[in-house]
Amino acid sequence: MNYRFRTLIVALLLCFHNAVSAQDAGTSLPDSLPNPDSLSAGQLTYWAELLSRQAKNYEAEFSRKTLTASIVREAAEQNLKMAKQDTLTPKTTLDSLASVLKNAKNAEKAAQKNQKQASQALTFTDKFASMDSLGQRKNLRKAWKQVKDLDDLLNPPKEKPIAAVLGNEGVSGSPVDSTALAETAADKKKSKEKKPEKPGPKYKPYDPAADPMRNPPQRPCALAVSTRDEFSGETYRETQREELFRYTNEVMKKILPAGQPHIICEAALSVAGPKANLHLTFQIRDANARKTFGSLAKGPIVTLRFLDGTMFTLDNLRNDDGARDESGQIFTYRAQCNLDAAVLKKLRKTELDKIRIAWSTGYEDYEVQGIDVLIREAKCLGE
């Protein structure tokens, strides 16, 4: 096939190109650099010219390698393209040519990277050669290091024999001590033996009673008011308000911003001697709340439904038409309901499920989210 002949021609060209490159690469750098402080001005100039000249040779060599890699990559692309156009080309051949192209691209990328490094080194060594003796003395190690890195790329160090690595390289005419080699191998094997693993952390067995998800800690008792009447001697205590529920109907969900509730109800309990009251505060985000809800009238307007199905109807002790805030968008309604002994006993032990409020325009049922709010507030007030 044509792409096979093309590959042969490219290979011959590369062989010729590499042979020329090997002749022009120049000599390698010395393995060590003298102490810059020990060099005279003339010696510094010599080293500067040497490094600049060597960097120039290396840059030219890496440029040739980049050109070679580009030629190989272009040939590989052309070979794969021609092979794909030939409908009789086996899949294995296509896969092989694709692999060759991939390797050629990687080689070209590596060559371009090395050429960039060589160009940077050449720029620095040219600048280094034009410095005064003080600048050359200060930057000699840096310039030598950059050129030496290029030299190592072109002339990688040869691998040492295994015996030399082990420190037992045989001397000509003298046998190698096999016992010493065996001992060395045994020592290495011993050093590679797996060290005993440290014991893992110890965990306590699971205790359901200590699980805060199943038995959450009690919230601290917070009283908003705690005063004593000087005349009657009775103590009035009222808990802090806590959110009992929040509610947004389907119509208001389309109007209000996401996450902003239509109604928030907060509850608090109070006791004064034998009397106990439930205080409900409603915040309604609706400029037309008075038209929609009307007012909270005195009388049996609050119905509590507990989780066990028990229901109690409470009397509101005050009438409230709602108070508008400064923005005019939120109305606040307050209700104060008397709690008899039966209701108070119930809400101390049973969670609340729902609450019905009979507004002057009609009643509405609300799902309670804070089902244990009244239990905690009742415990806070004590027996």
Q: What is the pLDDT of residues 270-295, one digit of tens each?
A: 999 889 999 999 999 999 999 999 99
Collapsed DSSP state (helix, strand, coil) of residue 317: coil
| pTM exceeds 0.85, yes or no | no
- Position 191 scores a pLDDT of 61
Is 333 within 8 Å of 357 (Cβ atoms)? no
- The domain segmentation of the chain, as residue ranges, is 2-157, 223-381
At residue 156 the predicted structure's pLDDT band, cuts being 50, 70 and 90, is confident
**78 CA to centre of own chain:** 44
Q: pLDDT tens digits, residue range 196-244?
A: 777 777 777 878 877 777 777 777 788 889 888 888 888 899 999 999 9
pLDDT surpasses 80 at 131: yes
Average pLDDT over residues 333-340: 96
Instruction: Compute the distance between CA of residue 64 and CA of residue 21 in angstroms, rounded to an integer.
Output: 7
- State how far the alpha carbon of 285 is from the alpha carbons of 111, 305, 363, in Å: 70, 25, 18
Pinpoint the alpha helices (H) of the chain. 2-24, 41-85, 91-129, 133-154, 162-166, 178-192, 250-253, 289-292, 341-349, 373-381
Q: Give the chain's mean pLDDT.
A: 82
The answer to whether the CB of 160 falls within 8 A of the CB of 168 is: no
pLDDT, residue 10, reads 52
Task: Evaluate whether the domain defined by 223-381 bears CATH number 1.20.120.
Answer: no
322 confidence band (pLDDT: 50, 70, 90): very high
Give the bridge partners for 279, in sequence order: 268, 336
Token pair of 59 as six digits = 């840059």
Amino acid residing at 79: N
The CA distance from 48 to 74, in Å, is 39
Alpha-carbon Rg of the chain, whole angstroms?
A: 46
Residue 316 has a CB neighbour count (10 Å cut-off) of 22
- pLDDT surpassing 60 at residue 354: yes
Q: Is the pLDDT of residue 15 over 70?
A: no
